[in-house]
Structure 1
Amino acid sequence: MVNDGARVRSRSSNRDLRKTLSRSRTNTGIHGKLHAETIVIGGGVIGCAIAYELAARGQDVLLIERGRIAEGASCAAAGMIAADSEHFSSPMMLNLAAMSRRLLHEQSEQLSSLSGMHIGFQQNGFITPIRLKNDLRSDSAVPTPRPRDSEIWWDSITAQQEASWLTKDIYGAYYRPLECDVLPVNLTQAYARSAQALGARIVEGVHHVNLRVDANRVQGVETSIGTMTCQHVIVANGIQGEALMKQAGLQLPILPVKGEIAAVQFPDHSGQLAPDKTIYAEDIYIVPKANGEVWIGATVLPGESDLHVTAAGLQKLLERAVSWVPGIAEAQFVRAWAGVRPSTPDGLPYLGACESISGLYTAFGHHRNGILLSAVTGSLLADFIEGKSSEELNVQGCRPERFNKRGILH
C-alpha cells in the first residue's frame, strides 16, 4: 500500500474543499486567534482523522498543513482496508486493523452526511489467489490464522465461478468477504470537512513549523503565520515527522519506501474481463475503485523518496497484473503515480504521548497502512489526549520513544 507522497488528486472536489477551508479561515479569524486546546500538525488522512475524532468529542482543535489537505500521503494510497489480508508482525497490529475497519464502517455514513462527500466505500471482499498446491506450505503464502468467518477457501472451480475474470492458472484462492476499500483522497477530505462541521479549524499553507518546548513541556508551535499556543501538539505529518521531533531532541527514525501505482479503466462493454473484487496477491494488488478505475500497485523501493514513475516499475506492475487478470491487457491506461511510505525500524507506527515532553504526541510512521489505520489512530489519539495510557489502550509497542529507551539510538 502506498501511503505517502504523490501529486494526483480529484481536482474538482479539492477546489471545493479549498473554498470551504478558505471560508473557515475567514469565519474563525484564525490569524487573530492563534490558540487551541490541541494543535494537529499534518493534513493527511491520519491528521484529519484525529481532528475529526477530537472535534466529535468536543475538543477545541486546530489542524495545520504546509500544503493542501490530502496533497501528500493520502493522494498516493490505494485505499485498501485490508485488515484480514495484510501481513502484520504482531497481534497488536492485527487487533488495531480489525478495530479500524469496524470504526470506518461505523463512521462512513456520518462522514458522508457531515461532509457531503462520497468516500467511495465498497465492501466487495479481497481474493488472494494461489498458483500451486505447494505454495500452501510456504510461509510467505499461508495467511495468518483468522477467525473462521473472515476467510473462505475457494478451489479452482469455485474461484472461476465466483471470479471468471481471474486467470485459470491457479490451484485455488482465499476469499475474505469483510475486506473493503475507499477512495483515499475523498476519505481524507471527508474527515477534514466533517471535523470542520463539528467545530475544528483547518489552515492550509502553513510553513516553517517549529515546536515550542519549555521546561520539558510543549508550549505550542512557531509558524509562518505566527505563534500558536496550546496544551497539546500532535505530530501527524508522516515522512516529515522525524525532522519535527528532532526539534524537541527526540529521535524517531523514518525510512522512506517509494512505491508506484497505475490506474486502468475498462470500457463499458468489457463484461467478464473486468474484476469486481480486489486481488491481494503476494506480488501485487489490483483494486476496482468506486470511480470506475482499477488501481494496480505497488513497487517497493526502500530508501527512495522521489515521486517519479519509472518505465521499469510500470512494466513490472502491468505484467504482474495481466498474469492474474488477463483482461487488464485490454483495459485503457489512465495514469500512474508514485508515493513514499513512512516506515519505522520495527514496522510499527509511533503512536501516543512522549514521556519526556508533556503535551507532545505522535501519530506517524504507518508505512503502507495509513488508510487502513486512520480511523483507529484518530480514536487512540483522542483517548491519549483524554489521559489514557499505552497500557490501558494495549499499544505499548507503539510508544514514540521506544528506540531511545532500548538504547538503539543515542
Structure 2
Amino acid sequence: MRTTYDAIIIGGGVIGCSIAYELCKQNKRVLLLEKETIGSKASSAAAGMLGAEMEFETNHPLYTLAKESRDSFSFLSKELFDICGIDIELIQKGIYELAFKEEEAVDLKREAAERHDQGEEVSWLEANNLLIKEPSLSPLVTGALYFAKDAQVSPVKLTRAFYHSAKILGAEIKEHTKVVQLLQSNNKVTGVVTTEETFHADSVIVACGVWSSDIEPSLKMVPVKGECLSFNTKRSLLTGTVKYKNCYLVPKRENRIFVGATSTPHVFDEDVTFSGLFELMEKAKQIVPELSGASFEKAWGGIRPQTLSGIPNIGRHPHKEGLILATGHYRNGILLSAITGKKIADYMESEVHSS
C-alpha cells in the first residue's frame, strides 16, 4: 500500500529541521529528505548570531518577525533540551556595534537615540563604559551601539536539536537522498521523485537553501559565499558579540571565538581563500589586539541563500497547489529558523481547517 505523508520536507538544514520539529509537535506524518548529511551546508557554516535588532531597522519588513523569532529562543532552548538533551548554547549577552572614528560614533549615537525613541533596548556606550564591560577591546575604540536583547546560539547544536527532537516525535528522516524532481499533476504538487524511489505527500516543502532553485527554478536563488574562521584563546576575551563594519567576533564556550564573515555574491564554491582569511584576521586584530596570540582552530566557507528581493520565501507557492516554500533566509537562517518552523506548521494547520 502506498504511503502518503502529510508533508515531505526537502532539505535537512536548520530550516528544514525546524519545520519537521514543529510539524511533528502537531502530530503530522513527516518525511525529511537531505541529499548529504543533516546540517552539512550553510547551517553549520553560520556563526549563530540572533541579531534581530542589530540586523534590521524597525521599518524593515522582517523586523517584527526577526524579533519574535529571537525572543522565542529562551523557551525553545529549554523545550529542545527537555526532548532530546541537546543544549543549543544560548548566550544572551547582547551585540556591540563598534565605532573607531568620530563620524562613526556620531552616526551610531543618532541611531541609538532613534531606536530608544521607538522603544527598543538599544543604547550608546561611551568608550570608558564599553571597556569596563569588554576590557579586551582595542583602547582605540570610541564607543558602541549596544543591542542588549540580541543573542547567539551554536548553529550546529541548534540544527542537531531540531533534528533529534523531530525524530523523537516521529519524523522519518533520510540522508543521502537526493530529490531530482517534484511530482506534479494539473499544477498540483503531490510528492517527490528521488534517485532511489518516489514519495507522495499532501504538501511538499522546499527548504534546501540556495539549492532550492534546482527543485523549483522559478525561485532564482542567488548564492552568496561567506568565509569564517575560529580561534582558541587562553582566557575568555569577550562576553558579548562584537561587530565592526563587516567583521564580527562571536565568543563561544571554552574560550573559542568565531570570526566572520566575508561576502562574495554569485559564488558557489566553499573554498577558503587567503585574501578572505587575511581580511578577517586584520579586522579581528584591530577589534581585539590580544587575538594575535590566539591559537588558530579552523576555517570554513558556506553558501548563503539569497532571493532576488532579499526577503525569504515563507509560505505557499503562488502558482502551485501543495508546494510550500521556506527558503532564501540569506544570513539570518539561524535567527529566523524558530519562527519559520512555526509559520509553516501554523500555515499547514490552517489549510487543514479551511479545506
TM-score, normalised to structure 2, is 0.93
Which segment drifts farther, 287-296 or 214-223?
A: 287-296
Is the partner of 1:91 in helix, strand or coil? coil
Percent identity of paired positions between Structure 1 and Structure 2: 35
Q: How does 1:63-212 map to 2 (within 5 A)?
A: 63-87=32-56, 90-138=59-107, 142=111, 145=115, 147-212=118-183
The code of the aligned residue for 1:85 comes to M
Q: Distance in 2 between matches of 1:353 and 1:189?
A: 26
Matched, 1:386 2:355: no
Is the partner of 1:333 in helix, strand or coil? strand
Contact 1:235-1:361 at 8 Å conserved across structures: yes
Contact 1:183-1:290 at 8 Å conserved across structures: no
Contact 1:34-1:226 at 8 Å conserved across structures: no
The code of the aligned residue for 2:321 comes to S
Matched, 1:57 2:26: yes
TM-score, normalised to structure 1, is 0.81
Which residue matches 1:243? 214
Contact 2:108-2:145 at 8 Å conserved across structures: no
Deviations 1:320-347 (A, max 9, x none): 0110111111111111000111111121
Q: Structure 2 vs 1, CA of residues 292 and 118 (structure 1 numbering), >3 Å: closer, same or farther?
A: farther
Which residue matches 1:266? 233
Q: How does 1:281-296 map to 2 (within 5 A)?
A: 281-296=244-259
Q: Out of 320, 323, 327, which is 1:360 matched to?
A: 323
The Cα shift of 1:281 comes to 2.0
Contact 2:122-2:145 at 8 Å conserved across structures: yes
Q: Distance in 2 between matches of 1:377 and 1:324?
A: 34
Q: Distance in 1 between matches of 2:322 and 2:119?
A: 42
The Cα shift of 1:120 comes to 1.5
Q: Distance in 2 between matches of 1:88 and 1:370?
A: 18
Structure with the bigger percentage of strand? 2
Q: Structure 2 vs 1, CA of residues 33 and 116 (structure 1 numbering), >3 Å: closer, same or farther?
A: farther
Matched, 1:310 2:265: no
Q: Distance in 2 between matches of 1:172 and 1:136?
A: 7
The Cα shift of 1:149 comes to 4.9
Q: Distance in 1 between matches of 2:340 and 2:140?
A: 40
The code of the aligned residue for 1:189 comes to R
Q: How does 1:394-405 map to 2 (within 5 A)?
A: none
The Cα shift of 1:265 comes to 0.8
Taking only aligned residues, the RMSD between alpha carbons, in angstroms, comes to: 2.1
Q: Distance in 2 between matches of 1:259 and 1:74?
A: 12
Q: Structure 2 vs 1, CA of residues 40 and 76 (structure 1 numbering), >3 Å: closer, same or farther?
A: same
Which residue matches 2:300? 337
Contact 2:3-2:199 at 8 Å conserved across structures: yes
Q: Distance in 2 between matches of 1:153 and 1:142?
A: 9
The Cα shift of 1:217 comes to 0.9
Q: Distance in 1 between matches of 2:104 and 2:148?
A: 22
Gaps of 5+ in 1: 1-31, 389-410
Matched, 1:298 2:265: no
The code of the aligned residue for 1:340 comes to I
Q: Structure 2 vs 1, CA of residues 141 and 238 (structure 1 numbering), >3 Å: closer, same or farther?
A: farther
